Amino acid sequence: MAEAALAQENAEMMLSVNNIEVVYDEVILVLRGVSLEVPKGALVTLLGPNGAGKSTTLKAISGLLGTEDGEVTRGDVTYNGQNIANGSPDKIVRDGIFQVMEGRRIIEDMTVIENLRLGAYTRKDSASEIKADIEKVFHYFPRLKERTGLAGYLSGGEQQMLAIGRAIMSKPDMILLDEPSMGLSPLLVKEVFEIIRTLNKELGITMLLVEQNANMALKHCDYGYIMESGKIVLDGTREELLNNEDVKEFYLGGGGEERKSFKNLKSYKRRKRWL
């Protein structure tokens, strides 16, 4: 491919993670050369089994690795042309990337409004602007408005909505969502995903979504990556992934009828590793 065309393509990428290696506690190698790209305005999903390193990838981007004794030891994370690998989390939030951490992680002994105001911590806007934005969050999550008590008493779904609302309050260019469906009922998962898609479309917030719920994630994403034991093993547009036999068999259930014999399975595995 011509290098000019490659540069052209890179320019449109809001975030590109280039071949990063992440090491925890200076000895545990968790990511072994992960590369992925997120174009501006897209909803990109990162799928994979437990322990594949999905959350670690997000933390490598948001800088939260440092809080867990992790470090990007090779490669770089380029955001709007700047290398932000191993940057401090508060600077990265100011730059416009906000991570919604796994398990909601709202401040339980504060009210809904206080949590939302904290989301706007890095903004320099006046109190009235922030108030207007809180109303905007309530527009997307009407049920949060009625909750006046401590956030710790909200239901799981409401807490997830609050966590996403808190992210919107920081006026980010990009949100990293770590398993928003965790511990929610199928109906709520559907609702949360619809809101995520709406926010992506209406507010133009670029999203990088890590999920276990491959069905939901693939239904709503533009592009997807699949990760296994610290590496990206497959990537493609939504249609490509939905029609891929391996994805169907391992992540969506069903598919893979033609290889019932053990011999074929082995050859499949070899092929899959190679990918």
Partner 1 sequence: MNWDLLGQLLMNGLIIGALYGVVAMCFVLIYKSTQIVNFAQGEFLLIGAWVCWWFLTTWELPFVVGFLFTLAFMTVFGIVLQTVVLRPMIGEPIISVIMVTIGLSLFFQAGMKWIFGVNVQPFPKVFETETVEIFGMMIQTAYIMSLGISLFIMIGFAWFFKSSKHGLAMRATAFDQQVAQSLGISVKNVFAMAWAISAVVSAVAGVVIGIVNGVSDTLAFIGIKVFPAVILGGLDSIIGAIVGGVIIGLLENFAEYADGQWFQVGNMYTIAPFYVLVIILMIKPYGLFGTKDIERV
In terms of CB distance, is 105 or 271 closer to partner 1? 105
CA distances from 196 to 64, 76, 255, 272 (A): 22, 28, 28, 31
Q: Is 16 or 111 the residue whose CB approaches partner 1 more closely? A: 111
Which residues have CB under 8 Å from 127's CB, separation 6+?
A: none
Nearer to partner 1, 24 or 268 (CB): 24
* Residue whose CB is less far from partner 1, 153 or 273: 153
Nearest distance from residue 240's CB to partner 1, in Å? 32
Q: Please state the closest distance from residue 115 (CB atom) to partner 1, in A.
A: 9
Residue 9 or 68 with smaller CB distance to partner 1: 68
Cβ 100 to partner 1 shortest distance, Å: 8
Rounded to a whole number of angstroms, the minimum distance from the CB of residue 152 to partner 1 is 3
Smallest separation, CB 153 to partner 1 (Å):
6
Q: Where does this chain bind partner 1 (CB under 8 A)?
A: 62, 64, 67-68, 88-90, 93-94, 98-99, 101, 105-110, 114, 117-119, 121-122, 150, 152-153, 155, 166, 170
SS3 28: strand
Among 101, 104, 99, 100, smallest CA distance to 188 is for 104
Give the nearer residue to partner 1 in terms of CB position, either 99 or 244.
Answer: 99
For residue 38, the minimal CB distance to partner 1 (Å) is 19
Strands 231-237 and 223-228: antiparallel
DSSP 161-219: HHHHHHHHHT--SEEEEE-TTTT--HHHHHHHHHHHHHHHHHS--EEEEEES-HHHHHH
Query: SS3 for 23?
Result: strand
User: Does residue 203 contact residue 137 with C-beta atoms inside 8 Å?
Assistant: no
